[in-house]
Amino acid sequence: MAPSQASYAPSLGKLLKSLNGQTLEASIESLIYLLKRRQIKGDDCADATAHLLRQVVAKSKWSDVDQLLTRVQNVGSRLAQAAPHEPTIGNIVRRVMGLIRDEASEDRNADDFGSESVEDIQTLSVNAPQPPKPAPFTSRPPTLATVASFHASKAKSMFNLLSVADTLDSPATGASTPMSQAQPTSVSALRSEVLDGINEIMDEISQADDQIASFAEVQIQPGDFVLAYLPSRTVERFLVKASARRRFTIFIASLEPPQASSSNDPYAALRKKLNAGGVKMVSIASNGLMAYMSRVNKVIFSAKAVYQNGGLLVDSGASVAAQAAHAYAKPVIALGGVFKFCPEDPSDEIAGETGDSSSYVSYADGSKVDALEVENTVADYVPPELVDVYLTNLGPQTRHHLASIMADHYKPEDVGFSLIPGEV
């Protein structure tokens, strides 16, 4: 009985499980509070956002592309505002919005047999009088039914494709109003296409770490001394992958001085895996990492976000490591999937996010609590000139190629989506 319910506390896993049973609005609300309470953070944010937007597309009522875009944008900006410290949320929202725009323009092109240009369609749809919005809070039947209806409508649209004559025969058809007739089929088709697209994004997020790790052999050479600053999941996987083929030494810089007892070593599992591969792992305190810099060949850390200018949002302290590496002219490799690329410039506020004071000073220490003012900056900003290689799931990149990646993934009109206040 006990293991069946290890915990009551809400988490990403529980949220994802409950997505289907809950109403959309309740899911949004619980995600917002999970973000606010930091019960979902880091790379999980992107995953959670993608799952939630998938629900938005699947569950909310919309009859044309603009409604869907507004809906996604509303939800997205609420999420982004709930967690301004997690820029990846905004990236996923932009990606989904871009995806919808792409699918919509393809659809229309297909519907109109290419007779009209994309621009025309877009102006048309913008100017078209919008039907009254469906109440956003209407509860929907559970997704099982929704999925079933997808299949049905999909099948129907396939059917339509194959037998054009049948559609023409149907009594509702009027030759004079091709758009209105095309709408219902295109909505469901669009829906399924967008959902497929979101699934692809989710796959990309989940595979990013593995894809990045696949470049490990190229980046790490035998006999290297590698410094990893506060290794994240991405970095750990990268190192483990490298250890399979390469013999090297890894310095792990962690906030707390290395503990003699292995019980509270946060990297015990990593150490085990690396040792299995014959890689030596040395734990050092982050404030002493400069002393090791002369021995180190390269510095690796993972980015929380990569900004347009090439600057990085990183765990606090990584900036010092990057500067030290720069001073010693050692290459700095930043790991991060493409979904972490932010088409924005860094803002002061985000890098200045302060967290829990008690991670540095125990609240039990009365005299310190009274005497000290603890500012625990959670994140740091690394200026672009300190970063040598951006290792993404698409391969290693340099600063100069970032702009083209951004352009590939985001639509310029979605960049400022969160500035438009969402309907709460």
Q: Whole-number minimum distance, CB 347 to other proteins, in Å?
A: 11
Q: Which is nearer to other proteins, 297 or 357 (CB)?
A: 357
Q: Whole-number minimum distance, CB 30 to other proteins, in Å?
A: 6
Q: Which is nearer to other proteins, 4 or 176 (CB)?
A: 4
Residues that bind other proteins (CB under 8 A): 1-2, 4-10, 14, 23, 25-26, 29-30, 33, 36-39, 82, 139, 349, 352-358, 362-367, 369-370, 373-376, 424
Q: Which is nearer to other proteins, 275 or 358 (CB)?
A: 358
Q: Whole-number minimum distance, CB 358 to other proteins, in Å?
A: 6
Q: Which is nearer to other proteins, 369 or 415 (CB)?
A: 369
Three-state SS for the chain is: CCHHHCCCCCCHHHHHHHCCCCCHHHHHHHHHHHHHCCCCCCHHHHHHHHHHHHHHHHHCCCCCHHHHHHHHHHHHHHHHHHCCCCHHHHHHHHHHHHHHHHHHHHHHHHHCCCCCCHHHHHHHHHHCCCCCCCCCCCCCCCHHHHHHHHHHHHHHHHHHHHCHHHHHHCCCCCCCCHHHHHHHHHHHHHHHHHHHHHHHHHHHHHHHHHHHHCCHHHHCCCCCEEEEECCCHHHHHHHHHHHHHCCCEEEEEECCCCCCCHHHCCCHHHHHHHHHCCCEEEEEEHHHHHHHCCCCCEEEEECCEECCCCCEEEECCHHHHHHHHHHCCCCEEEECCHHHECCCCCCHHHHCCECCHHHCCCCCCHHHHHHCCCCCECEEEECHHHCCEEEECCEEECHHHHHHHHHHHCCHHHCCHHHCCCCC
Q: Whole-number minimum distance, CB 159 to other proteins, in Å?
A: 37
Q: Which is nearer to other proteins, 118 or 255 (CB)?
A: 255
Q: Which is nearer to other proteins, 70 or 377 (CB)?
A: 377
Q: Which of 147, 153, 126 shows the shortest CA–CA distance to 67? A: 126
Q: Which is nearer to other proteins, 233 or 368 (CB)?
A: 368
Q: Whole-number minimum distance, CB 7 to other proteins, in Å?
A: 4
Q: Which is nearer to other proteins, 17 or 151 (CB)?
A: 17
Q: Whole-number minimum distance, CB 171 to other proteins, in Å?
A: 40
Q: Whole-number minimum distance, CB 2 to other proteins, in Å?
A: 6
Q: Whole-number minimum distance, CB 385 to other proteins, in Å?
A: 25
